[in-house]
Structure 1
Amino acid sequence: MANQEKLASSLSARHILMISLGGMVGAGFFIGAAAAILKTGPAVFISYIISGLLVYLINLSIRDLALQGGRESGSFMTQIRTHLGERIGFLAGWAYWLTWVVVLGAEVLFGANMIHDFLSPYGIAIPVVTLEIIVLAVMTAINLMSVKGYGEFEYWFSLIKLIAIGVFVAIALWVIIRGALGLGHAVPIHHNLFDFGGLVPKGWLAVLAVVPTIFFSMNGSEIVTVAALESDDPDGNIVRITRTIAVRIAGFFLVSIALVLVMRPWTTLNAGNSPFLDVLHQVGIPFAGEFVWIVILTAVLSSLNSALYVTSRILFEMSERGDGPKFFLKVDQKSQLPRRAVVACFIGGVLVVLASTLSHDEVYFVMLSLTGVLMLFNNFLIVAARIKSNPEGHFAPYLACVLFACIVVAMAWMPETRLEAGIGIVALSIIAVAALFHHRNTPIGDSSER
């Protein structure tokens, strides 16, 4: 693993913490929560609990694998390869890389459109495609400066997102408490929760069916295992971060969603709007729209920043293992960055953007649809690696497998996710064939270094 040692070790514990925190809170949470609520009603809170529990169990598996591997245990991708074999490692690595390249392109598209819509009223008409290239180029330049530059930007991006959630929670609680004390308008909590079809207006199947969407919006915490490799204490940072995952899920997701549900009737939300913005408008907060716009754009740039980082490092790791071109193993001596890998991922993002622009969204829809299944697959492999490493260990990974099965059933049940599942399975099958061909001379289950 000589090349791995040439990467920088300049990320500090605070960088790793914020990368982990920011990885879980993306634009999908600030905007997508409304769609989840409208599909389920107040019982969406249970959906968030189920999704949060699964994310927590996955992080327990990540922690256990790090503890078992000792120092230099590597990223979660290394652990999958170690315990499940070279072929599965190849499949997991390229599936994960493809997932984040598509996410990278999606964030560029969303961010560029946000900026375009903001500038248009001022008579500044910059083509969306131009903005897409500018946004992607700027974030790539940040990732090409130094790994510490990436960590510093992600630190502040994540801090802005967390402060925004904290401000929302504080305002909502202040309004509720003030009303309860008779100092202001009382929030009709019982009315908002029970008078619009009850707590479970869409039925219990809807509660389960929305879990995949919520689970995907919570993903990203596994990036910490990649980023930690460029810190001074990789496994120590992984263990410390994963121990706090339950508190983060409760604080970020459960508390804020609960406050949205009690503050206004769920039927009044709009699928395309942020539910947090709707609540802030309701209580009369000035400049709420501008505040939420900044937060959402920050979340987009944060996700884009992390996507560029993690795709380049996974590409480097895959090449190091012999599963990718050796061309990407080149590390800049001064910055200790895999610059070729970063540029390759920039090109991948450009191709996703062009696919959307030139195909009238058909190709882009197919690419975006497969990310859910690929993400689910890689998380399952983390749990499977944990079970393989210690079959008689804690019950947590087995419970995670039960929840994975529930998500698969839900995806098969819902017509809109059934197509996504099919596209994802086709993509996995193609990568699996490539894995079998590439490792045709490797004994089954062998995980020795190439």
Structure 2
Amino acid sequence: MISLGGTMGAGLFIGSAGAIATAGPIVILSYIFGGILVLLVNLMLRDMAMQMPGTGSFIFQIRHSLGPLAGFVAGWIYWVVWVTTLGIEVIGSASLLHPYIPLPYAVTELLVLAVMTGVNLMSVRSYGEFECWFAMIKVVAIVLFIIIGALLLTGRTIPVAANLTGYNGLMPHGFMAFLAAVPTVVFSMTGTEIATIAALESDDPDGNIIRIMRTVAIRLLVFYVASVGLVLCLVPWITVVPGQSPFLLVLQNYGIPGAATIMGAVILIAMLSTLNSGIYSASRVLSGMALGGDAPALLGYKKTETHPPHRAILACAAATLVVSVSAVLTPGIVFSFLIAMTGAFIICYNILIVCARLKMACPDAWKGWLALILLSGVLLSMLLQPSTRHELLTGFAALAFITLSGWFKTGWKRPSRPLKWQR
């Protein structure tokens, strides 16, 4: 549930509108492409857990396999991605709550961040229970939407063919338009790796990681493809407006009572879920980097082995607050820079995951090479599209700075020898 919940957020409920508007009905190929890519990366995570038990999350497996510099880069870019995402989720949650709470907007932001930080400070169990319920609500909402959509298709005369092809065909912007939507789709599907971090605080870390990675990507692919496919069948794709939920559009078009209230609540829960998971994931990675010497040592302190890393959690909350404030004070400078570089960072740490897996002398290496080809395709699509080319170049510039910092910090040390594959 944590793995699914970390992925099924606002990127699905709202972000899918941007993908549909960009590519038209052929966007379904974008979701299939993204789902296959996530599946392959999850298989890489599973294999690393099998071959390097007890080495920690995928960040530390990258360090073990590719060396300290790669571990430094992977850890910091992953942390920056999450802190930026957390800032966005705080802003989005406060925007949804502000009409109902008689407090200044800034106070609402602080309240949202304080509550979710408090949940993480209490205990690992409190995080897990909150996230399980958040994730369950999102999964139930998607399943109900799929059921309602299927009933509408079978119970009414709906012009499915006209909705799909009546507005310049299935490929209104050309066949290659599906590549333009791929970055949006891939970014909305990221987050399954949270389970590899959360599993470290469970009773059977390696076994849980192996079991989760086998199935979560397939479930994710089914949920995304089925729900977006129903949206395309039920309403004309040109009526989908970027920034607005296409799921709400469908429910309102067919007169589902209370649709706006229900979908608003689901989107709020999706944002709070991402906020909850992000604080957890970012704080564990930051604490681990501190223990490994890649971050200030005081951030690695824990009262006992089973207690949450309070200092790392508070540091992540403080960084999130800075991101949220930058969105108000410098929306066109600092905040836009952070948003622009996250796309390249996400692709980068996925590439490092695949390379760490390929470093092992193991069979089925074709899966890793296929994942690298698909990831290269995402980078190429970002480079070819004017709207994402600037983001890619910004991300590479920030990545070069982090790599240079890591080189000064860790030196160019050789990674461990390749692991021999164990059946």
TM-score tier (shorter): over 0.9
Residues 109, 353 of structure 1: 8 Å contact kept:
yes
Per the alignment, residue 217 of structure 1 pairs with 188
SS of the counterpart of 1:42? helix
Corresponding position: 1:444 with 2:414 = yes
Structure 1: runs of 5+ lacking an equivalent: 1-17, 180-185
Match of 1:270 among 235, 241, 264: 241
Distance of aligned partners of 1:411 and 1:177 in 2 relative to their CA distance in 1, 3 Å threshold? same
SS of the counterpart of 1:402? helix
Residues 351, 375 of structure 2: 8 Å contact kept:
yes
Question: For 1:49 and 1:215, how far apart are their aligned partners in 2?
Answer: 10
Query: In the TM superposition, what whole-angstrom CA distance separates every residue of 1:359-409 from its partner, at most 9, and x where no partner exists?
Result: 244311111111111111001110111111136533111111111111111
Write the letter of the residue equivalent to 1:395: W
Structure 1 residue 164: Cα displacement: 0.5
Corresponding position: 1:106 with 2:88 = yes
Alignment of 1:104-183 (within 5 A): 104-116=86-98, 118-119=99-100, 125-179=102-156
Write the letter of the residue equivalent to 1:89: G
Alignment of 1:54-93 (within 5 A): 54-70=37-53, 72-93=54-75
Per the alignment, residue 333 of structure 1 pairs with 304
Residues 101, 345 of structure 1: 8 Å contact kept:
yes
Corresponding position: 1:33 with 2:33 = no
Question: For 1:393 and 1:49, how far apart are their aligned partners in 2?
Answer: 22
Residues 86, 446 of structure 1: 8 Å contact kept:
no
Write the letter of the residue equivalent to 1:57: L
Aligned residue pairs, count: 418
SS of the counterpart of 2:351? helix
Structure 1 residue 125: Cα displacement: 4.5
Alignment of 1:13-412 (within 5 A): 18-70=1-53, 72-116=54-98, 118-119=99-100, 125-179=102-156, 186-333=157-304, 336-390=307-361, 392-412=363-383
Question: For 1:172 and 1:188, how far apart are their aligned partners in 2?
Answer: 14
Structure 1 residue 246: Cα displacement: 4.0
Per the alignment, residue 421 of structure 2 pairs with none
Query: In the TM superposition, what whole-angstrom CA distance separates every residue of 1:258-309 from its partner, at most 9, and x where no partner exists?
Result: 1111111101111121000011011110010000000000000000001100
Residues 370, 421 of structure 1: 8 Å contact kept:
yes
Write the letter of the residue equivalent to 2:17: A
Structure 1 residue 250: Cα displacement: 3.0
Higher alpha-carbon deviation: 237-246 or 50-59: 237-246
Question: For 2:413 and 2:231, how far apart are their aligned partners in 1?
Answer: 53
Residues 66, 238 of structure 1: 8 Å contact kept:
yes
Structure 1 residue 225: Cα displacement: 0.8
Question: For 2:304 and 2:75, how far apart are their aligned partners in 1?
Answer: 26
Distance of aligned partners of 1:128 and 1:447 in 2 relative to their CA distance in 1, 3 Å threshold? farther
**Percent identity over paired residues:** 44
Residues 81, 447 of structure 1: 8 Å contact kept:
no
Structure 1 residue 217: Cα displacement: 0.4
Structure 1 residue 170: Cα displacement: 0.7
Residues 354, 371 of structure 2: 8 Å contact kept:
yes
Residues 342, 395 of structure 2: 8 Å contact kept:
yes
Question: For 1:62 and 1:233, how far apart are their aligned partners in 2?
Answer: 16
Query: In the TM superposition, what whole-angstrom CA distance separates every residue of 1:93-114 from its partner, at most 9, and x where no partner exists?
Result: 1111111111111110111111
Question: For 1:92 and 1:418, how far apart are their aligned partners in 2?
Answer: 22
SS of the counterpart of 1:210? helix
Question: For 1:392 and 1:155, how far apart are their aligned partners in 2?
Answer: 35
Higher alpha-carbon deviation: 244-253 or 158-167: 244-253
Write the letter of the residue equivalent to 1:68: Q
Question: For 2:147 and 2:16, how far apart are their aligned partners in 1?
Answer: 19
Question: For 2:396 and 2:290, how far apart are their aligned partners in 1?
Answer: 24
Write the letter of the residue equivalent to 1:169: I
Question: For 1:387 and 1:252, how far apart are their aligned partners in 2?
Answer: 29
Structure 1 residue 334: Cα displacement: 8.9
Query: In the TM superposition, what whole-angstrom CA distance separates every residue of 1:111-155 from its partner, at most 9, and x where no partner exists?
Result: 111111x32xxxx55222111111101100000000110000000
Structure 1 residue 325: Cα displacement: 1.2
Question: For 2:287 and 2:221, how far apart are their aligned partners in 1?
Answer: 34
Structure 1 residue 446: Cα displacement: 5.1
Question: For 1:391 and 1:384, how far apart are their aligned partners in 2?
Answer: 13
Residues 64, 415 of structure 2: 8 Å contact kept:
no
Query: In the TM superposition, what whole-angstrom CA distance separates every residue of 1:318-355 from its partner, at most 9, and x where no partner exists?
Result: 01111111101211239611111111111111111111
Write the letter of the residue equivalent to 1:310: S
Structure 2: runs of 5+ lacking an equivalent: 419-423
TM-score (norm 2): 0.96
SS of the counterpart of 1:389? coil
